């Protein structure tokens, strides 16, 4: 079932802490998870060592609600992991919340995972045939089954065997008895960082989660790296690289998903977004001389994800930047509104025009991406009702034409507006005066090593066979009919 959300969705964030000295680990985990809330708002959870056991606590809801109990009292521990979840196919059910904790022939294992396994069906069929019983619909459980059923003599060997069998995107943290693991898949789809402070080791999806704990010394977990931290120190090993594989870091982490104050893939997210906005302005100018920049009065971001790109657009074009929309942060990020009217109401609850900024102005409205177009239509209407003379929508991502199989919730191809309409048709549909996307080629100029990134949702070039239906694969390309 495809997502009903009007925008793109994350597939989770992870955090982990190990300390040779006992600390109040559950309390400490609260803070990095709170920093990663933007990566998933539907459930939160932690697992930590309590004496010789691992205990887990998780529930549906935001970090501040689910985990606030851990801000009181003392729970001395050496290690813990945590997770924030965004649900998709598995649905928003408690049994799919993470970490998942199991006790098996390899010991106690707790796992928190960000990503998506592409060969889930094949592996699950095999396990079902062997008699396995699954309790969740998330593919995280798959790792645990494979580890448990492995005939390798040690946990470490069973883990490596499991990882070599699974294909797809995974950045994960794992507790095995008193050891902490931080693992990133060989393609490097999702970010994962590891750092140290005063003997404590912290791993997290983004560096904003390091900053809140004042961890200043950190590095990216390398693609294919398996790091284990225990009482003897830290050691790392590497998974073998699939034949012909190259890095496929998700470019959407830089465009939209990660927090602007984070570093992911060793890039400042804010700085890259500014570059993308600047490139959008240059692209406008380059295609049509200086008249290519819309004859506009101001550049307005769609807050918050459009802020950095709008700033870049304003600097490159020389147009003034202003906040013509304010965001109500209490409206949440995960409304599911079934009808167009209700979705429009959801947009009005979330974004408010600042009439004094907008009235009578010709506006360049900068957003990160266009999925179904429903939110943009409501937004353009809001701005025009508030007196905007013209609205020129600029997107700092290319046209999204293909689904993602690596951990991002993208609707079916038929639901993506760019599969049905040209930018000119989209402008007419949403009531904008013009619509333009950043081209893939221009996006690549904003990256230091574009060959290390995934662009599959823009160009359909997946790094390996993905479980797409033939119907989806063969959907007529609208660009071939224009």
Residues serving a catalytic function are 12
Report if residue 252 touches ligand SF4, rule: CB under 6 A: yes
Contact 138, 168 (CB under 8 A): no
Nearest to 46 by CA among 26, 65, 32: 26
Q: Which is nearer to ligand SF4, 55 or 475 (CB)?
A: 475
Q: How many CB atoms lie within 10 A of CB 320?
A: 12
At 161, is the secondary structure helix, strand, or coil? helix
**Residue 408 C-beta: closest distance to ligand SF4, Å:** 4
Q: How many CB atoms lie within 10 A of CB 349?
A: 14
Report if residue 456 touches ligand SF4, rule: CB under 6 A: yes
Residues linked to residue 238 through DSSP beta bridges, in sequence order: 225
Distance separating alpha carbons of residues 224 and 205, to the nearest angstrom: 15
Give the binding range for ligand SF4 (CB under 6 A) out of 28-36, 135-143, 365-373, 448-456: 448-456
Q: Which of 60, 81, 146, 251 binds ligand SF4 (CB under 6 A)?
A: 251
Residues linked to residue 299 through DSSP beta bridges, in sequence order: 321, 364
**Residue 160 C-beta: closest distance to ligand SF4, Å:** 24
Give the binding range for ligand SF4 (CB under 6 A) out of 44-52, 58-66, 250-258, 352-360: 250-258
**Residue 453 C-beta: closest distance to ligand SF4, Å:** 7
Residues linked to residue 218 through DSSP beta bridges, in sequence order: 195
Distance separating alpha carbons of residues 135 and 141, to the nearest angstrom: 8
Q: Which is nearer to ligand SF4, 26 or 186 (CB)?
A: 186
CA 22 vs. chain centroid, Å, equals: 32
Relative to beta strand 453-454, strand 217-220 is: unpaired
Give the binding range for ligand SF4 (CB under 6 A) out of 200-208, 245-253, 315-323, 391-399: 245-253
Q: Which is nearer to ligand SF4, 152 or 442 (CB)?
A: 442
Give the binding range for ligand SF4 (CB under 6 A) out of 22-30, 236-244, 404-412, 439-447: 404-412
Report if residue 143 touches ligand SF4, rule: CB under 6 A: no
At 249, is the secondary structure helix, strand, or coil? strand
**Residue 369 C-beta: closest distance to ligand SF4, Å:** 10
Report if residue 406 touches ligand SF4, rule: CB under 6 A: yes
**Residue 251 C-beta: closest distance to ligand SF4, Å:** 5
Q: What residues between 155 and 174 interact with ligand SF4 by CB under 6 A?
A: none
Q: What residues between 275 and 304 interact with ligand SF4 by CB under 6 A?
A: none
Distance separating alpha carbons of residues 455 and 114, to the nearest angstrom: 19
Q: Which is nearer to ligand SF4, 370 or 404 (CB)?
A: 404
**Residue 116 C-beta: closest distance to ligand SF4, Å:** 9
Sequence-distant (6+) residues with CB within 8 A of 168 are: 115, 116, 117, 118, 119, 120, 185, 189, 405, 406
**Residue 257 C-beta: closest distance to ligand SF4, Å:** 8
Give the binding range for ligand SF4 (CB under 6 A) out of 55-63, 362-370, 386-394, 403-411: 403-411
Report if residue 316 touches ligand SF4, rule: CB under 6 A: no
Q: Which is nearer to ligand SF4, 215 or 447 (CB)?
A: 447
Give the binding range for ligand SF4 (CB under 6 A) out of 223-231, 248-256, 381-389, 421-429: 248-256
Report if residue 100 touches ligand SF4, rule: CB under 6 A: no
Distance separating alpha carbons of residues 232 and 179, to the nearest angstrom: 10
Report if residue 437 touches ligand SF4, rule: CB under 6 A: no
Residues linked to residue 183 through DSSP beta bridges, in sequence order: 172, 226
Contact 16, 68 (CB under 8 A): no
Contact 34, 63 (CB under 8 A): yes
Report if residue 454 touches ligand SF4, rule: CB under 6 A: yes
Q: Which of 144, 203, 388, 404 binds ligand SF4 (CB under 6 A)?
A: 404
Relative to beta strand 217-220, strand 179-184 is: unpaired
Q: Quote the tokens at residue 344.
A: 């429009």
Phi and psi at residue 422, in whole multiples of 5°? -75, 165
Q: Which is nearer to ligand SF4, 227 or 250 (CB)?
A: 250
Report if residue 370 touches ligand SF4, rule: CB under 6 A: no
Match 């801000």 to its residue by tokens: 71
Give the binding range for ligand SF4 (CB under 6 A) out of 102-110, 153-161, 264-272, 449-457: 449-457
Q: How many CB atoms lie within 10 A of CB 238?
A: 12
Sequence-distant (6+) residues with CB within 8 A of 343 are: 6, 335, 337, 374, 375, 378
**Residue 410 C-beta: closest distance to ligand SF4, Å:** 7
Report if residue 408 touches ligand SF4, rule: CB under 6 A: yes
**# residues contacting ligand SF4 (CB under 6 A):** 11
Phi and psi at residue 71, in whole multiples of 5°? -85, 0
Whether omega before 99 lies within 30 degrees of 0, making that bond cis, reads yes
Q: Which of 189, 218, 265, 321 binds ligand SF4 (CB under 6 A)?
A: 189
Question: Which residues contribute to the site for ligand SF4 (CB under 6 A)?
Answer: 189, 250-252, 404, 406, 408, 454-457
């Amino acid at each position: 079932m495809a997502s009903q959300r009007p925008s793109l969705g994350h597939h989770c964030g992870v955090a982990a802490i190990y300390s040779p000295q006992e600390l109040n680990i559950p309390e400490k985990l609260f803070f990095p998870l709170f920093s990663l809330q933007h990566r998933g708002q539907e459930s939160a959870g932690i697992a930590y060592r309590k004496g010789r056991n691992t205990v887990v606590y998780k529930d549906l809801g935001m970090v501040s609600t689910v985990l606030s109990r851990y801000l009181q009292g003392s729970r001395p521990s050496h290690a813990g992991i945590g997770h924030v979840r965004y649900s998709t196919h598995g649905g928003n059910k408690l049994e799919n919340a993470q970490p998942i904790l199991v006790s098996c022939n390899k010991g106690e294992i707790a796992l928190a995972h960000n990503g998506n396994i592409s060969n889930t069906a094949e592996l699950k069929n095999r396990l079902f045939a062997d008699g396995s019983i699954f309790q969740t619909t998330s593919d995280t459980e798959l790792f645990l089954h494979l580890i448990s059923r492995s005939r390798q003599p040690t946990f470490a060997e069973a883990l490596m065997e499991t990882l070599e069998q699974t294909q797809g995107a995974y950045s994960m943290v794992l507790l095995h008895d008193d050891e902490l693991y931080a693992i990133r898949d060989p393609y490097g789809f999702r970010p994962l960082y590891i750092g140290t402070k005063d003997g404590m080791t912290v791993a997290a999806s983004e560096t904003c989660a390091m900053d809140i704990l004042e961890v200043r010394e950190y590095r990216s977990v390398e693609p294919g790296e398996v790091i284990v931290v225990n009482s003897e120190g830290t050691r790392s090993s590497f998974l073998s690289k699939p034949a012909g594989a190259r890095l496929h870091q998700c470019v959407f982490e830089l465009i939209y998903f990660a927090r602007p104050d984070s570093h992911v893939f060793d890039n400042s997210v804010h700085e890259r977004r500014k570059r993308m906005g600047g490139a959008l302005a240059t692209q406008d100018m380059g295609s049509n001389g200086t008249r290519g920049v819309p004859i506009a009065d101001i550049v307005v971001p769609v807050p918050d994800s459009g802020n950095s790109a709008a700033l870049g657009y304003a600097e490159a074009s020389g147009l003034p930047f202003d906040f013509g929309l304010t965001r109500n942060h209490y409206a949440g990020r995960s409304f599911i509104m079934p009808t167009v009217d209700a979705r429009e109401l959801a947009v009005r609850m979330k974004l408010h025009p600042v009439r004094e900024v907008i009235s009578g102005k010709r506006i360049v409205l900068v957003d990160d991406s266009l999925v179904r177009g429903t939110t943009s239509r409501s937004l353009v209407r809001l701005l025009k009702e508030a007196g905007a003379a013209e609205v020129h929508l600029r997107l700092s991502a290319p046209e999204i034409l293909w689904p993602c199989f690596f951990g991002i919730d993208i609707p079916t191809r038929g639901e993506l507006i760019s599969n049905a309409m040209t930018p000119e048709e989209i402008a007419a549909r949403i009531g904008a005066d013009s619509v333009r996307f950043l081209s893939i080629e221009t996006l690549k100029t904003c990256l230091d090593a574009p060959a290390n990134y995934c662009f599959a949702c823009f160009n359909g070039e997946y790094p390996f066979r993905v479980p797409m239906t033939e119907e989806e694969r063969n959907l007529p390309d609208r660009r071939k009919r224009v």
